[in-house]
Structure 1
Amino acid sequence: MAFATVKVLLTALIVIAISEVAKRSTAIGGIIASLPLTSLLAIVWLYGETGDTNRIARLSLSIFWYVLPSLVLFIVLSVLLAHGMSFWPSLGLSIGATFLAYLVMSAMLARFGVSI
């Protein structure tokens, strides 16, 4: 239970730090947010709990393939907001487009026999 508490607190602190930095500089906030902190935390937590490097390798490869469709969220959100759409509908449509991109990526990986 203590390990889970540490995980939650550290993860929350990172998210809060990013949002606080972004209030002062969106560029620096963007750089920090673009770092694979969530992935690194997940890898460290998984290794700490299992010690299974094969599982870490598979997770790392899965993260690689699914980072690509996740970029759709940022592109769509930016375009919609730049064209005057309000925040919440833009965010909702961006999430929907990202979900579709994940489905397409999953289908493409399966089609080409990529097992993750």
Structure 2
Amino acid sequence: MFFWLKAFLSGLIIAAVSSLARRYPGFGALVASLPLISILGMIWLWQETKDPARMEAHVSATLWYVLPSLPMFLLIPLAMRNGVPFYAALLGGCVVTAVLYLVAVWLAGRFGISP
């Protein structure tokens, strides 16, 4: 039952953000940029485990995975401004993000960080 509650609330937030962005693109972007999914994930994890060590590891790893995703938000609009269709720009942004995730994991390992 808890799984379905989590899925419903998470989906509701995504639907609300997309509806909001359709009418107010800037405000929709602001709400989308909030770490709502991360916060919900932390709440769900805490409710299920009450484990401070697991929470610390999750939050630290989230930081290391957010950083390589940021260039995607520059690449997609830049590509679209230069005539690249949306889905191609989105795919390119996702590919770049995946490559940067791999680089981040590799670099983290070299510095003794465990994302």
If the length of structure 2 is used for normalisation, what is the TM-score?
0.96
Q: Segments of 4+ in structure 1 off by > 4 A?
A: none
Q: State the 1:115 CA deviation.
A: 2.0
**Identity over the aligned pairs, expressed in percent?**
37
Map 1:18-29 → 2, pairs under 5 A = 18-29=17-28
Q: Secondary structure at the match of 1:84?
A: coil
Q: State the 1:53 CA deviation.
A: 1.4
Give the gaps of 5 or more residues in structure 1: none
CA RMSD of aligned residues (A): 0.8
Hey, what does 1:43 align to over in structure 2? 42
Map 1:77-96 → 2, pairs under 5 A = 77-96=76-95
Cα-to-partner distance string for 1:23-60 (whole Å, 9 max, x where unaligned): 11111111101111111111110111111111011100
Name the count of aligned residue pairs.
Answer: 115
The aligned amino acid for 2:43 is V
Aligned equivalents of 2:77, 2:52: Cα separation in 1: 37
Cα-to-partner distance string for 1:81-102 (whole Å, 9 max, x where unaligned): 1111111111111110010110
Hey, what does 2:106 align to over in structure 1? 107
If the length of structure 1 is used for normalisation, what is the TM-score?
0.95
Aligned equivalents of 2:106, 2:71: Cα separation in 1: 16
Aligned equivalents of 2:91, 2:114: Cα separation in 1: 30
The aligned amino acid for 1:39 is S
Cα-to-partner distance string for 1:66-113 (whole Å, 9 max, x where unaligned): 110011211111110111111111111111001011011111101111
Give the gaps of 5 or more residues in structure 2: none
Aligned equivalents of 1:115, 1:94: Cα separation in 2: 25
Aligned equivalents of 1:82, 1:69: Cα separation in 2: 22
